[in-house]
């Protein structure tokens, strides 16, 4: 999880930052789902063989969150494309350089 | 016991993938590695009994997300060699977050403990009523569509807004910085 945060802060490339955000999200999801696990339980689909089910509530929350996460990264990618159209680069340091040149 | 060994193996693959994402500079291989990452996460979900989450992750996280990223990367130039910025503060931040999280995890109930507080409230009722009232054997679908239907409605609104944002960003030419800059210069002269 923290490695995702590390990638977000240290990398220059905006695509790589978005990938870091996705890693961050997914690892939080894995943590959430791991709270729902019961030892010897099965998937929460009712059947006549097994009576112990894992907790379905975190699964529902994470289902929602996965789809929202994809929407977020799609929006981020659209912003990156627009940045590339205007600055001709997706590297943070090059964009900063160009901004400085323009302001002076 | 078997469960823990499989989980350990999958999580070590995740760590390896993250390390290579950090190391690589080529954008298209970063996208491919992200696909691997989410697919391994789907395997972890199956191992943790979250079947519905697993196939959503495999279809949406690993499929659609990767396709979107490939479409974006196709229009961008190759990634440059990465110079790391803010290296020292980010290492300090990461290590301190790891320490705080480990302290919290030590206080959580054990993995798979059936008497953890999360398993004792609302959920037993959901599982009991699912068959008798709603006649749906899949409890996750039942909660998603009936008990928490408004939640799902809110989710669709979020996706709709994101889609609108993407369309506006990709079709607009008014944001062009150079023309705006020229206009600004003209205004200053005039």
Each residue of A47-99: pLDDT tens digit?
Answer: 777 777 888 888 888 888 888 889 989 999 998 888 888 777 777 777 778 77
What's the CA dihedral at B60, B61, B67, B69 to 10 degrees?
140
Confidence of residue B178 (pLDDT cuts 50, 70, 90): low
Q: Which residues in chain B have Cβ-Cβ distances shorter than 8 Å to A77?
A: 68-69, 72
Q: Is A51 exposed, middle or buried (0-12, 13-18, 19+ CB in 10 A)?
A: exposed
Portion 26-45 of B in contact with A at CB < 8 A: 27, 30-31, 34, 37-38, 41, 44-45
| Domain residue ranges of chain B, discontinuous segments joined by + | 1-78, 121-190
Supply the range of the domain harboring residue A64. 2-103
Q: What was the pLDDT predicted at B169?
A: 85
Contacts made by residues B148-156, CB under 8 angstroms, sequence distance 24+ = B148/A60, B151/A60, B151/A64, B152/A64, B155/A64, B155/A67, B155/A68
Portion 70-89 of A in contact with B at CB < 8 A: 70-75, 77-82, 84-87, 89
- Cα(B22)–Cα(A4) distance, integer angstroms: 9
- B164 vs A: CB within 8 A: no
Percent of chain B with pLDDT strictly greater than 70: 86
Smallest CA-to-CA distance from B26 within B77, B71, B61 is with: B77
CB atoms closer than 10 angstroms to residue B185: 10
- Asked whether B72 and A77 are in contact (CB, 8 A), the reply is yes
Which residues neighbour A81 within 8 Å (Cβ) at sequence distance 6 or greater?
B72, B75, B76, B169, B170
User: Is the predicted pLDDT of residue B174 greater than 70, yes or no?
Assistant: no
- A19 vs B: CB within 8 A: yes
How many domains is chain A partitioned into structurally?
1
User: Is the predicted pLDDT of residue B189 greater than 70, yes or no?
Assistant: no
- Asked whether B35 and B66 are in contact (CB, 8 A), the reply is yes
Give me chain B's average pLDDT, please.
81
Smallest CA-to-CA distance from A73 within A34, A33, A30, A15 is with: A15
Q: Do B51 and A16 touch (CB under 8 A)?
A: no
Q: What is the CATH number of the domain that holds A34?
A: 1.10.287
Tens of pLDDT, residues A13-47 = 788 888 888 888 888 888 888 888 887 777 777 77
Q: Do B76 and A41 touch (CB under 8 A)?
A: no
- Asked whether B113 and A52 are in contact (CB, 8 A), the reply is no
């Amino acid at each position: 999880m923290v490695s995702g945060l590390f990638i977000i802060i240290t990398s220059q490339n905006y695509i790589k930052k978005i990938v870091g955000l996705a890693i961050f999200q997914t690892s939080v999801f894995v943590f959430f789902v791991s709270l729902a696990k019961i030892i010897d339980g099965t998937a929460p689909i009712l059947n006549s063989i097994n009576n112990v089910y894992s907790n379905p509530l975190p699964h529902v929350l994470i289902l929602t969150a996965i789809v929202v996460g994809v929407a977020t990264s799609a929006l981020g990618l659209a912003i990156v494309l627009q940045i590339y159209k205007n600055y001709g680069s997706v590297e943070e340091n090059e964009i900063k350089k160009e901004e400085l040149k323009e302001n002076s | 016991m078997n469960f823990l060994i499989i989980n350990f193996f999958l999580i070590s693959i995740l760590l390896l993938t993250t390390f290579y994402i950090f190391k690589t500079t080529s954008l298209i291989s970063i996208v491919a590695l992200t696909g691997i990452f989410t697919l391994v996460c789907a395997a972890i979900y199956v191992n943790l009994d979250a079947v519905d989450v697993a196939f959503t992750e495999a279809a949406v996280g690993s499929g659609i997300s990767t396709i979107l990223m490939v479409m974006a990367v196709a229009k961008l130039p190759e990634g440059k060699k990465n110079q790391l910025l803010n290296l020292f503060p980010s290492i300090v931040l990461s290590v301190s977050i790891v320490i705080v999280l480990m302290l919290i995890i030590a206080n959580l109930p054990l993995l798979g403990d059936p008497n953890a507080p999360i398993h004792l409230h609302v959920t037993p009722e959901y599982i009991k009523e699912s068959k008798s009232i709603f006649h749906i054997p899949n409890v996750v679908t039942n909660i998603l569509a009936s008990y928490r239907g408004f939640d799902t409605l809110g989710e669709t609104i979020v996706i709709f807004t994101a889609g609108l944002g993407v369309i506006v960003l990709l079709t607009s030419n008014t944001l062009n910085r150079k023309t705006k800059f020229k206009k600004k210069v003209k205004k200053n002269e005039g």
